[in-house]
Structure formats: C-alpha cells, structure tokens
A = this chain, B = another copy of it.
Amino acid sequence: MRQLVGVVGFRGYSGAELVKILAAHRRVEPVLLEHGQDGDDPRPFRLPKGLLKIPCRPELVAEHSLAAVFLATPPEVSMELTRPLLETGAKVIDLSGAFRLRTAERYAHWYKEQHTDAGLLAEAVYGLPEFYREQIRGARLISNPGCYPTAANLAIRPLIRSGLLDRSRGLICDAKSGVSGAGRKPSLKTSFCEVTENFSLYSILNHRHVPEVLLNSGLEEEEFSFTAHLLPVDRGILETIYCRTSVGKTTEDLLSAYRQEYAAEPFIRIYPQGHMPDLLSVAHTNFCDIGVTVAPASGRVVVASAIDNLVKGAAGQAIQNMNLCMGFAETEGLL
C-alpha cells in the first residue's frame, strides 16, 4: 500500500516532473493539490491519468493523511503554505528559495521581499543529500536546493576539503542553463523566437543563487564569482568552473579527490581523464556528472559539472530527500 504525498504547483515544469517520477515510485502515490488557478493544461495526457486531485487545504491534507507535501511554488506561496501544512503532520519539501537562506535579512536582500515566516528558517534543512544526509533523515521541513547551487556545491566542496584549491586565486563559475529553469509562466525572455539560435547572459555577478553556494560549499564571498547564461535547450545545466591548484598537480590527482569524496554516492559520476560531461549525459536522470581537466605546468583547473535542472536540480533531488526523510531507499524511483 503506497502512502499518499501531495504536489502543489503540479502544472509547472518542476511540479509536473515531480508527478511523473512519483507516479512510478513504488512506495508513494502522488495527489494533485490545487492552489490558485492557472488554468487547464492544453495537453490532455501531460500528467498521468487517474490521480486524486483536491484543493490544497490543510484540513483536506490531514483528512487524506498525506505523508509529505512538495511545494513547487513561488517563494511567497511557499512561505504562506508551509506552516499550515506542517501542522497537519506532513513533511514539507519546498522547491522554492523561501527557506534556503538562514536569516530574514539575507532573504530580503536577495529575494527583494520580506520573509513572512522567518520563524521556520532555523528549522529548515538544506536538502543536498551528499552534504546533509543525516539532518535530512530527521527533518520535518526540507528546503530543496536551487538548480545552479546543486551543480556548483557538488563540484566545489571536494576542491576545498582536499586542500587542492589555491584559495588565493579565487574560483569562477560560468553557468549555463536550459529554459525550463525559468518556469512555465510566459514571458518575452523565454519565448521561442527570442531563445532559439540565441545565447545570452543574465544576473551577472549577482544571481540570487550565490549565497546558497557560499553557505554550503565552503567558499568565501571574495573567492567566488558567478554568472548565469541562458541556453537554447529545454533542460540541463552545465557549469564550467575555473580555478587553480598547485603547480605540478595532475588531472588524475584531482579526479582522485573527487572519487574519494563521492565513492559512496549513488548520484554522482566522476568522469575518466580526457572526458567531460555534457547535457545529454544527464538529461532525464538524477545524476550530477563531474569532469576535470588540469594543466599541471600552470596549475590551471577546469571543472565541469552537469545536471538536469528539473531532476537533480529540482524534482529528482526533492524525491531523493523524501526517500531519506520517509525512510525509503535513497534511490527509490530515481534510477
């Protein structure tokens, strides 16, 4: 008998991906939770048929004994819904940025609005299983990481922990994302004719995902530069990271550090020397693929980190978190 879990925002790209993965999960069954009205879907078979659909109201969530609720909603909606949903006894896994930073001040700075439930910030666990697995297991409220920070944090922390990063030289992350990362709401910037055959920069040096990397990777603010770009693809993130190691260190030295750090991780794949990840390798998977190239004579390092922004960067990681906090096998439904 599968436990019921709810999805708010199931019409968006992350929400629909959640529903699709959950529908094939052997331990849970998704329930569609209607909130607000964003109209019907033009594709009659976009979501699986036969799922329960109910209004997103705490009493109904309680009545149906939902074990967990995923919020694939804007941060202002997540801030409003989280507390009443927690009070039903459900775990809450929030895919917005509402609970990723640790203080109301930082939230207000980066998200340009007041936090309306700052009391929950201290409790929220940052849902990056490779870093915080134990805390996630016991969490009631999980803040699912942003897509860019997922690829960045996983690529950066081993460099720091292994001592292989020359911290005096800083680290630059040139990040490229597919369009689904911008959500499903129509806008000129994400219109087909503005994106196809195009490529552009945005949020140069001041993307709101920067503090998530600083909080979790071990880098200091003055060490980290981040710029985002929009790729003419539906899904996928590739980040090219530039930094330095000691002169004489080899590609193999750095790969060893990565392999050691992630030896037990089911969703991290370290590439063999001479290979670098690309978007198609991770599309529709929960993997984060990492490759490294070093120029030993200069100590130059290029690290490439690739994920599917809707899976490891959103829905897949959220389900990985659900698996952990509900006691299922971590990879259930994700391989």
Contact = CB atoms under 8 A, between A and B. Distances in A.
Interface residues of A, number: 69
Chain A to chain B: the 3 pairs with minimum beta-carbon distance, closest first = A200-B278, A186-B186, A174-B174
A335 B234 CA distance: 23
A233 B44 contact: no
A192 B205 contact: no
Given A186-B187, A191-B184, A300 B197 contact: no
A276 interface: yes
Contacts of A196: 179, 192, 196-197, 232-234
A225 B300 contact: yes
A279 B192 contact: no
Copies in the complex: 4
A279 B174 contact: no
Of A238, A280, A287, the most chain B CB neighbours within 10 A belong to: A280
Contacts of A279: 197-200
Contacts of A269: 45
Interface of A: 13, 24, 42-46, 169-170, 172, 174, 176, 178-180, 184, 186-201, 204-206, 222, 225, 227, 229, 231-236, 238, 240, 242, 269, 271-272, 275-281, 283-284, 287, 289, 293, 295, 298, 300, 302, 304, 335
Contacts of A170: 169
A240 to B, nearest CB: 6
Contacts of A194: 192, 280
Contacts of A200: 238, 276, 278-279
